[in-house]
Structure 1
Amino acid sequence: MFASEFQEGFGTWMLGYAPFGGGEVGEIAAVAAEVGDGGDDAFHQAFVGLGDRLVAEADTAAGAGHRASASEGYLRASVAYATANRPLFGTPVDPRLLVTHRRARAAFEAGLALRSTPALAFDIPFEDAVMRSYLLPAEGCENERRPLIVLVNGYDATAADLYFASGVAAGRRGYHCLIFEGPGQGSTLYEQGIPLRPDFERVVSAVIDHVADQAIVDEDRIVVSGWSLGGHLAPRAASGDPRVVACIADPGQADLGAGLGGFLRLLGATEDEARDPLNLDDAAAARLMAVIEGDRRLRWSVVQRGFWANGVTDLRSFLRRTAEFTLRDRLDRIRCPVLLTRAENDPLAAGVGAFAVALDAAGVHTTVIDFAAAEGAGMHCEMMNRSLLNRRVLDWLDDVLAP
């Protein structure tokens, strides 16, 4: 749709949310035509314009008493605003990103408040952070005691991303959901500057502490489910909190450091450098950074996003920080069934087979569900067929919790 391949990845991401009310093909095509050959500024302005238009329509609908239309408009606007911000990632934080993010959150919360089953928005304190969080009662079951799925984001993403990726589908299936913006994610990163941390079990345990005593939460059926980097953070959470009775990792990732050598080879590293990625000398680090800086997508992924979300400022610190995200020596602490997804063309899913073997060896009941390109679900997080992902994952969870 977009003239720029770099913009295509950002601009079409929200199409994955279309089945759940997060985007429309025609809207994205119109934005792409407006952007044309324009750069990051044009991309940002076009998606902000879409968000503003959707908010204006939602305001009109709300004023006329059309709650459903208003809710849909506000929620979709939140995704448009978030999409506008993607190319602006990095430090120092672009003032436009903060303005647009605040519009996105306001629209998201306005939309949630007008749902037929309204959500509860609140802040969860955690050390120096305040994590914006939302308890989403299952559709038509807002007063019933039911299982709770704690949805765990990945890099930099917002609560709205999780809402459309998994929250809507889970709510329709009868699950209450808790979504939050932890360290390195959403407002906690954008506005508070608090980066990711490897010991994410402490973060998720604080979230569970905050909501477990809610009357509608069945504290004996608490599930963690993570997507993207959350495919590592969710099992990490399960390894640190015995209240978790099932874990979903999309895709399953046991040790982020295991992929660093392959990443460096793609940048042109020597075999010796790739075998020892945590000890690059100055010359090697400078040479590899030149490759990263010369590729627009790589620069965004590593420098703008990776450095920012991890709170580092150079390649060697980024590699060392990444290697800290591991489940080595923690697998036997997982006491619940685990589901690992594996999309055919997702590089982050390459280690799922080995992860499953390691979990089985540690006595963890493990299931792997594969997703094929022929199903339209072969990409990262099955993004262009989230409906299929949610059906299979929730069927598995129904069976696990049935007894």
Structure 2
Amino acid sequence: MTTFIDDPEFDGQFVRTLSAATRGGADLGEALAVAERIVPGDFASWYRAWTQTAERVRAEADRALSSGDAVSARRGYLRAAEYYRQATFFARTDLDDPLLHAAYDGHVAAFEAAVPLLGHPTYRMVVEGDHVLARGYLFTPDDTDALRPTVILPAGYDSTAEMGYTFAAVTALDHGMNCLTFEGPGQGGILYRHKVPLRHDFEAVLSPVVDWLLTRPGVDPDALVLLGRSFAGYLAPRAATGEHRIAALVCDPVQYDFAVTIRRRAGERVWARLMDHDPSLDADLAPMMADPHERNGFQWRMAAHGTSSLSDYFRELARFSLVGIADRIGCPTLATSGEGDFADNGQLQTFADALAAPVTSHTFTKAEGAGGHCEGLGQDRFDQYAYGWLHTVLADPDRRPARARLSRVPAR
């Protein structure tokens, strides 16, 4: 695939903006102009190039709106929101960093400015209580009470409820479905503003979100689709082990058991020291933080998990597992992966074998233009396959009784 920035980490994030362009969330020319101003390995240049463009585009959108050009304003606000989001990416190592908060606030403000101009109803969600905090947006094709399927999109490691609009909601709306995009503990503003870290028991987060969703008109309670992508390839199936009102589950890529991955990469000796809380282990792990990009990646993940050392982070991540509970998922499941996806732990078949519910597995390939993390630039390829599967599953006349029976099986 073509390289746009001579830095693998920068380039990997940059292509997400190119994908957003296909959903109205970026302009290819603007994005490529940003890439030309980014210095490989220079985090400050990344932040500066994106924020400068975001500020210019936001100002142009404001002027368009004031002159009565709502179309240009809407498009500008959505582009500015994406560019601000990109600015936050490598600034998330310190949750008190004013640069992070400036870019994140700009991201949310730009998207909020676009909401009245989207052309379809949008409802803001805030769920708070029982040690759960979540926020998001419900997008609907129209304001009628006609019952429709609803796609539920939890954020991943670094995405936001706002990003979910171009990442998933645009396609769901095109298919005549509602879409709820949301962030919970360890994600977006719940992390940056409230400093609530990720939790492995994501079913405790999803259930009150579903409670809220089912109070909304136009939501078919028998056609709730849980779509988990990137780190939500773990969060979504984990949530489905305890939340049985879900009619269909999509995981991309499947992330079944982080403990196995850590143990395999660390080796048995280091794993034993990790589990024994060996106080000297962090000194031996220090070389993993030598490379600036590796250090940045570990630091923002540690921040998301509420940990301050590599050993604590690995121990916390090891709790994120579906072992022994995957068979509690009671709905038809689509488990996918993109060829070469760094987040694919090679556990797709292990996950499929652990399910009692019907499961379909599929691997997207580089040859079809859909390799890499979450299918890279092949978002239409993913959407075509996933929504084709969803339409078949949701139309199955035997689906609802089967799901209802499974939903009554008590958790073990």
| TM-score normalized with structure 2 length | 0.90
- Structure 1 residues 271, 239: closer, same or farther in 2, change over 3 A? closer
In 2, the alpha carbon distance for the partners of 1:272 and 1:83 equals 39
1:48-87 aligned within 5 A: 48-87=51-90
In 2, the alpha carbon distance for the partners of 1:342 and 1:274 equals 27
Shift, 1:274, TM fit: 4.9
- Structure 1 residues 127, 381: closer, same or farther in 2, change over 3 A? same
In 1, the alpha carbon distance for the partners of 2:331 and 2:134 equals 26
Contact 2:134 2:205 in 1 (8 A): no
* Amino acid in structure 2 at the alignment position of 1:206: P
Answer yes or no: is 1:375 the counterpart of 2:372: no
Shift, 1:127, TM fit: 3.6
In 2, the alpha carbon distance for the partners of 1:32 and 1:296 equals 20
Question: Who is 2:404 aligned against?
Answer: none
Shift, 1:227, TM fit: 0.6
5+ residue gaps, structure 2, are 397-412
Q: 1:317 aligns with which of 312, 315, 320?
A: 312
In 1, the alpha carbon distance for the partners of 2:275 and 2:186 equals 22
Contact 1:12 1:28 in 2 (8 A): no
Q: 1:251 aligns with which of 245, 253, 260?
A: 253
Q: Deviations over 1:89-135 (max 9, x none)?
A: 12352111112111110111211221111311232214455422100
- Structure 1 residues 21, 338: closer, same or farther in 2, change over 3 A? same
Question: Who is 2:269 aligned against?
Answer: 272
Q: Deviations over 1:60-109 (max 9, x none)?
A: 22123222221111111111001011111123521111121111101112
Question: Who is 1:177 aligned against?
Answer: 179
Shift, 1:201, TM fit: 0.5
In 2, the alpha carbon distance for the partners of 1:104 and 1:63 equals 20
* Amino acid in structure 1 at the alignment position of 2:49: A
1:141-156 aligned within 5 A: 143-156=145-158
Contact 2:274 2:281 in 1 (8 A): no
1:281-300 aligned within 5 A: 281-288=278-285, 290-300=286-296
Question: Who is 1:42 aligned against?
Answer: 45
Aligned length: 392
Contact 1:231 1:252 in 2 (8 A): yes
In 2, the alpha carbon distance for the partners of 1:48 and 1:348 equals 28
SS at match of 1:198: coil
Contact 1:23 1:79 in 2 (8 A): yes
Between structures 1 and 2, the one with greater helix share: 1
- Structure 1 residues 126, 297: closer, same or farther in 2, change over 3 A? farther
Q: 2:326 aligns with which of 323, 331, 346?
A: 331
* Amino acid in structure 2 at the alignment position of 1:391: Q
| TM-score normalized with structure 1 length | 0.92
Does 83-92 or 7-16 show the bigger shift?
Answer: 7-16
Contact 1:6 1:296 in 2 (8 A): no
Shift, 1:3, TM fit: 4.1
| Structure 1 moving runs of 4+ over 6 Å | none
Answer yes or no: is 1:345 the counterpart of 2:347: no
Shift, 1:12, TM fit: 3.1
Q: How many percent of aligned residue pairs carry the same amino acid?
A: 35
5+ residue gaps, structure 1, are 265-269
In 2, the alpha carbon distance for the partners of 1:18 and 1:244 equals 31
Contact 1:213 1:219 in 2 (8 A): no
